[in-house]
């Protein structure tokens, strides 16, 4: 999410007529409603209630929540804006996000549901030596979720500042802190059940808003997609070229390869994102896990097709120039369009939905990171599996507060930086460290403890190294340290190298281990993952 927010410029609001009073009241109502939902849904029971809502959600409910996890502010505002500005290239993101669900559907979701209980570590550690593997799983989970969360928090600051016209560094810091505190409240009060209901509420709101905007836009152009596209081309300096790829990624051979690398990370990363994986435990059976992916796939196809219309609509009705001159640039395309077609009220609604989106997504991330700490590190590594369910939940709640605080501080510190790379990086991490190990441990009988550790740390390590020595860190005007240049690796996204590397590391590690795979546990895991015999219900 790119947000060039200039705190000093004395300041144009996103829309001059947008009323802060209406926006503030819609936001306040929304926070109260979602907190009430989280409170009503809360259950103060066992660790299973707290972490995975006692596995009581239906496939449809979980599917809506899964799509909610995915339809973050970045995909709603970011993709619609990217389509309005860059045309076709903005659309490429959504295709990667959608196709990625097939990896979950075909290979991961049902097997994971049958094998584990709360976390990704349950599956990875199932037939390996518990302590090292769970520690690695927790490290990877926490790195991915915290990166992802800091990016969301930083985005939240700029975005809400933009929509509510809050100016200055302190104002933004305050907003980030409010987002953080509300999110911690959801997690502490509601646990997984509350967080999921908030996610369902928000996803429904978002989907309805987007569908109505799309219908309205199509209606305005007499349901002729061609007329809409004509108008869009007229409003965009790219003209007809906006309907073909190349505007954003086509600059040089490096940017093209970077795009291929990013696409690979997107399509393979989803099935390794810990907060997505954890959702599969909130349903009672593998069949319901399968259903939830189907729901998520259908909802997201609809959503992304709508963002295509909204993006073209924003180019047609608002015009690229006006969007780029607004304070949030690309991100302001959808809000500006909302104002254009529905006035102050619709602008308030879209702003509130975007805000709810950030809140719900960061709450899910916090829950995942704290569950991994409590269940993998505390209960299984530190207490060696002898922690009772009550103390696990207590530790998870304390961790959620710490993680919330860390991400508030992190979000405030990085909010002036371009943090879009953090999300891409989270996907690359997930694809490199988690996907290879998950697939190997589910489908390769010979895979063993050393293989797991090599693949995870190899994937994480190569990702980190490649990013540190990439233009993200140095040598580029947009870098974190623009003054020096130690960018040895030309690509901003490491996926194309680190993903294959982690698969290779897994093989090397496996063959270097003198200790063979645990035959009995492998049999148990295979039978359990395919049939559900012995699974937690």
Partner 1 sequence: MTNATPPPMRARSAGQAGKAPVAFGGIDKSAARRGTDKPDFDDIQQSDKFIRLRSRLKRFVFPMTLLFLCWYIGYVVLAAYAHDFMATPLLGNVNVGIVLGIAQFASTVVITTLYVRFADRRIDPQVAEIRNDVEDGTL
Beta bridge partners of 481: 474
Pull the structure tokens for residue 369: 């990171």
| Per-residue interface string for the shown chain with partner 1, residues 326-365, x marking contact by CB under 8 A | ----------------------------------------
- By CB under 8 A, the count of residues binding partner 1 is 70
Q: Please tell me whether residue 474 adopts helix, strand or coil conformation.
A: strand
534 binds partner 1 (CB under 8 A): yes
Exactly one of 11, 13, 129, 256 binds partner 1 (CB under 8 A); that residue is: 256
Would you state the structure tokens that stand for residue 365, as one six-digit string?
């991330």
DSSP string computed for 164-208: HT--HHHHHHHHHHHHHHHHHHIIIIIHHHHHHHHHHHHHHHHHH
Q: Give whichever of 301 and 417 is closer to partner 1, judged by the CB atom.
A: 301
Q: Are 158 and 433 in contact (CB under 8 A)?
A: no
Distance in Å, CB of 369 to partner 1, minimum: 18
Backbone torsions φ then ψ of 481, nearest 5 degrees: -120, 85
**Shortest reach from residue 278's CB to partner 1, in Å:** 14
* CA 238 – CA 290 distance, rounded (Å): 42
- Binding-residue pattern over the window 453 to 482 for partner 1, x denoting contact by CB under 8 A: ------------------------------
Nearest to 268 by CA among 140, 91, 436, 501: 436
Check binding of 526 to partner 1 (CB under 8 A). Answer: yes
Q: Which one among 71, 146, 203, 264 touches partner 1, defined by CB under 8 A? A: 264
User: Is residue 263 at the binding interface for partner 1, with CB under 8 A as the rule?
Assistant: yes
Site for partner 1 in 217-236 (CB under 8 A): 225-226, 229-230, 233
The encoded tokens of residue 89 equal: 């290239």
For 472, phi then psi, to 5°, come to -60, -35
Q: Are 261 and 496 in contact (CB under 8 A)?
A: yes
Stretch that binds partner 1, among 194-202, 299-307, 358-366, 503-511 (CB under 8 A): 299-307
Indicate which single residue of 267, 377, 420, 430 sits in contact with partner 1 (rule: CB under 8 A).
267
- Which of 245, 343, 461, 500 is close enough to bind partner 1 by CB under 8 A? 245
Q: Does 320 bind partner 1 (CB under 8 A)?
A: no
Closest approach of partner 1 to the CB of residue 360, in Å: 24
Q: Are 1 and 73 in contact (CB under 8 A)?
A: yes
Residues 299, 302, 305, 311: what is their CA dihedral angle, to the nearest 10 degrees?
-70
Contact window for partner 1 (CB under 8 A) among 85-93, 164-172, 272-280, 315-323: 85-93
Cβ distance to partner 1 smaller for residue 484 or 533: 533
How long a stretch of residues is the chain?
A: 537
Q: Rule CB under 8 A: choose which of 116, 155, 410, 411 binds partner 1.
A: 116
Nearest to 9 by CA among 415, 330, 348, 325: 325
CB of 261 to partner 1, least distance (A): 10
Between 89 and 340, whose beta carbon lies closer to partner 1? 89
Peptide bond into 72 cis (omega under 30): no
Residue (166 or 218) nearer to partner 1, CB: 218
Distance of CA 201 to the CA centre of its chain: 17
Among 5, 50, 118, 440, which residue sits at the site for partner 1 (rule: CB under 8 A)? 118
Query: Does residue 122 interact with partner 1 by CB under 8 A?
Result: yes
Residue whose CB is less far from partner 1, 34 or 114? 114
126 binds partner 1 (CB under 8 A): yes
Contact yes or no for 336/350 (Cβ under 8 A): no
User: Taking contact as CB under 8 A, which single stretch among the options 65-73, 89-97, 179-187, 480-488 is the one that binds partner 1?
Assistant: 89-97
Residues from 388 through 447 that contact partner 1 (CB under 8 A) = 443
Nearest 5°: CA angle at 243, between 321 and 326?
20
* Contact predicate 68/200, CB 8 Å: yes
Least Å distance, CB 530 to partner 1, is 6
The 10 Å Cβ neighbour count of residue 349 is 21
Between 290 and 322, name the residue whose CB sits nearer to partner 1.
290
**Under rule CB under 8 A, residue 281 binds partner 1:** no
- Work out whether the CA dihedral 10, 14, 15, 17 comes out positive or negative: negative
Backbone torsions φ then ψ of 57, nearest 5 degrees: -80, 150
Shortest spacing between CB 263 and partner 1, in angstroms = 4
Q: Which helix (H) or strand (E) holds 244?
A: none
Binding site for partner 1 (CB under 8 A): 88, 91-92, 95-96, 98-99, 101-103, 105-107, 110, 116-118, 121-122, 125-126, 130, 225-226, 229-230, 233, 240-241, 243-246, 249-250, 256-257, 259-260, 263-264, 267, 287, 290, 293-294, 297-298, 301, 304-305, 375, 379-380, 385, 443, 519-520, 523-524, 526-528, 530-534, 536-537
């Amino acid at each position: 999410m790119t947000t060039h927010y200039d705190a000093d410029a004395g300041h144009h609001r996103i829309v001059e007529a947008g009323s802060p009073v209406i926006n503030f009241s819609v936001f306040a109502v929304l926070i109260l409603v979602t907190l009430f939902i989280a409170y009503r849904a809360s259950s103060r029971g066992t660790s299973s209630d707290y972490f995975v809502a006692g596995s009581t959600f239906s496939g449809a409910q979980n599917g809506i929540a899964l799509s909610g996890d995915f339809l973050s502010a970045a995909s709603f505002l970011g993709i619609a804006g990217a389509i309005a500005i860059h045309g076709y290239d903005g659309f490429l993101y959504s295709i990667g996000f959608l196709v990625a669900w097939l990896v979950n559907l075909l290979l991961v979701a049902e097997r994971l549901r049958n094998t584990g209980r709360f976390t990704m570590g349950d599956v990875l550690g199932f037939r390996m030596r518990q302590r090292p593997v769970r520690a690695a799983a927790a490290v990877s989970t926490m790195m991915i979720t915290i990166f992802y969360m800091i990016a969301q928090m930083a985005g939240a600051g700029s975005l809400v500042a933009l929509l509510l016209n809050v100016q200055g560094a302190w104002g933004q810091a305050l907003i980030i802190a409010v987002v953080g505190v509300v999110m911690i409240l959801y997690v502490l009060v509601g646990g997984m059940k509350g967080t999921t209901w908030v996610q369902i509420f928000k996803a429904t709101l978002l989907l309805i808003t987007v569908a109505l905007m799309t219908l309205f836009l199509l209606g305005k152009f007499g349901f002729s997609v061609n007329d809409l596209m004509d108008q869009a081309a007229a409003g965009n300096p790219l003209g007809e070229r906006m309907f073909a790829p190349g505007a954003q990624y086509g600059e040089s051979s490096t940017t093209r390869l970077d795009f291929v690398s990013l696409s690979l990370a997107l399509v393979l990363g989803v099935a390794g994102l810990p907060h997505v994986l954890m959702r599969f435990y909130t349903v009672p059976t593998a069949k319901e896990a399968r259903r939830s992916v189907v729901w998520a796939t259908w909802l997201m196809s609809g959503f992304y097709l709508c963002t295509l219309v909204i993006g073209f609509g924003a180019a047609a009705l608002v015009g690229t120039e006006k969007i780029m001159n607004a304070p949030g640039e690309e991100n302001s395309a959808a809000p500006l369009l909302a104002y254009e077609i529905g006035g102050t009220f619709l602008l308030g609604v879209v702003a509130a939905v975007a805000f709810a989106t950030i809140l719900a997504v960061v709450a899910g991330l916090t829950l995942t990171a704290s569950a991994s700490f409590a269940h993998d590190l505390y209960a299984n590594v530190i207490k060696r599996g002898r922690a009772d369910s009550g103390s696990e939940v207590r530790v998870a709640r304390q961790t959620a507060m710490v993680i919330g605080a860390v991400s508030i501080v992190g979000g405030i510190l990085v909010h002036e930086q371009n943090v879009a790379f953090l999300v891409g990086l989270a996907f690359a991490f997930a694809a490199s460290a988690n996907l290879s190990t998950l697939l190997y441990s589910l489908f390769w009988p010979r895979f063993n403890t050393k293989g797991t550790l090599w693949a995870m740390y190899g994937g994480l390590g190569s990702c980190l190294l490649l990013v540190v020595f990439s233009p993200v860190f140095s040598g580029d005007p947009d870098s974190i340290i623009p003054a020096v240049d130690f960018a040895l690796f030309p690509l901003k996204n490491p996926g194309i190298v680190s993903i294959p590397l982690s698969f290779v590391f897994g093989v090397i590690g496996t063959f270097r281990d003198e200790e063979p795979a645990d035959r009995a546990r492998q049999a148990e895991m295979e039978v359990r993952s395919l049939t559900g015999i012995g699974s937690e219900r």
